[in-house]
Amino acid sequence: MSSQPARPLVLGVETSCDETSAAVLDGRNRILGHVILSQDVHEVFGGVVPELAARAHLQRIDAVVQEALHKAGIRLDEVDVFGVTAGPGLIGALLVGVCWTKAVAFALGKPLIAVHHMEAHLFGPVLEDEEAEPPFVALLVSGGHTLLLYAEAWGRYRLLGETRDDAAGEAFDKVAKLLGLAYPGGPEIERLARDGDPRRHRLPRPMLRGNQRPEDGDYYDFSFSGLKTAVAELVRALETRGALDAERAHVAAAFQQAAVDVLASKTLRAVEQTGCRRVLVGGGVSANGRLRDELADRLGPGARLFRASARLSMDNGAMVARTARFRYDLGHVAPPEASASADLAFPGLVRRTA
């Protein structure tokens, strides 16, 4: 007889960047308790300071886990499976979560599951929509990553495109800083862009040309560095003329539309090439309403667009717990020597050979 619990309670811990989060899932993948504590210390610096992030996780992780357990109505020793984000991310921040979870799992004699942060973002939408199952084209857009892949099944992913420089979320943050907006920049850009006209300023769409073909190396890939530079030059020109205050909302709208246009266009290319009209969008940038609307409009009737709520789009413990359950069911228990890795390989991802 197997010693594995039939309906294990799973605790997921997330500390890859600047959110300290923990969540408990029951055997039916329902969220029993969930806490996300964002760090506001980074607002002063306009971006995440790795050392400060790690220190904040260390100070808060005990309280965050205890509150998640309290909401779930269980004790720590009642958890059956412990999952934790092991990478990619900020190595100091990752180590806090991995060391804490590894120590507790070892002390209680419970299995530890090392979770890949971007695979976890794939599982975010399925927590709220049971139909968010493969096959689907997935656009993963966050502060540190931009990936376009085709998910044939859970655990079987084919990479189509990725960013060659800045991630989409990083570009939003940097442009927000150029415009004098608060951190994190994504929500601030979206808010300001509502009052702007995206046609007022023409910005480039990097790596997006009409004559590209599927066999071209940049057909699915992304680049946001040039777009960020174009915004910087535009801002300098407007400041020189004393016109930035009047044009700020228009610049935000033009940047947002350029970024969304690239993201949506590349995603629709993947839809056309795979023949799959099921699209999942995950990661922090997936909370952007303009991106969601653009994808829905371009997909048209009969297609499906899966996305998580704003809360489950950000880094969170619930998506980690859901991914941990999937990996646990496959028997992927982490060995005692498991640790964090800032560039952890995406499990099941087949990279392009050309």
In tens, the pLDDT along 89-133 reads 999 999 999 999 999 999 999 999 999 999 999 999 999 999 999
Is 44 domain-assigned?
yes
Do residues 212 and 292 share a domain?
Answer: yes
Do residues 297 and 323 share a domain?
Answer: no
What are the residues facing 150 on neighbouring strands?
A: 137, 158
Is 3 domain-assigned?
no
Q: What is the pLDDT of residues 157-170, one digit of tens each?
A: 999 999 999 999 99
Is 162 domain-assigned?
yes
Is 5 domain-assigned?
no
More confident residue, 20 or 217: 20
The region of weakest confidence among 84-88, 142-146, 171-175, 230-234 is: 142-146
Do residues 295 and 328 share a domain?
Answer: no
Judged against a pLDDT cut of 70, whether residue 138 lies above it is answered with yes
Judged against a pLDDT cut of 70, whether residue 1 lies above it is answered with no
Do residues 113 and 155 share a domain?
Answer: no
Is 289 domain-assigned?
yes
Number of domains in the chain: 2
* Distance of alpha carbon 333 from alpha carbon 249, whole angstroms: 49
At how many degrees (to 10) do helices 289-299 and 244-274 cross? 40
Judged against a pLDDT cut of 80, whether residue 262 lies above it is answered with yes
The region of weakest confidence among 48-52, 147-151, 232-236 is: 48-52
Judged against a pLDDT cut of 80, whether residue 148 lies above it is answered with yes
Is 1 domain-assigned?
no
Do residues 139 and 161 share a domain?
Answer: yes
Residue 353 pLDDT level (bands cut at 50, 70, 90) = low
Judged against a pLDDT cut of 80, whether residue 32 lies above it is answered with yes
Do residues 117 and 143 share a domain?
Answer: no
Placement of tokens 């720590």 in the chain: 76
| Structure token pair of residue 24 | 């408990």
Do residues 69 and 211 share a domain?
Answer: no
Do residues 298 and 317 share a domain?
Answer: no
Domain that holds residue 41: 10-123+313-350
Do residues 280 and 341 share a domain?
Answer: no
For the chain, the average pLDDT equals 94
* CATH code where residue 110 lies: 3.30.420.40
Helices (runs of H) and strands (runs of E) counted in the chain: 10, 11
* Contact criterion met (CB below 8 Å) for 317 and 66: no
Do residues 201 and 274 share a domain?
Answer: yes
CA neighbor of 282 nearest in space, from 109, 108, 87, 151: 151
* Distance of alpha carbon 172 from alpha carbon 184, whole angstroms: 8
297: exposed, middle or buried (Cβ count in 10 Å: 0-12, 13-18, 19+) = exposed
Question: What's the pTM?
Answer: 0.94
CA neighbor of 125 nearest in space, from 346, 350, 307: 307
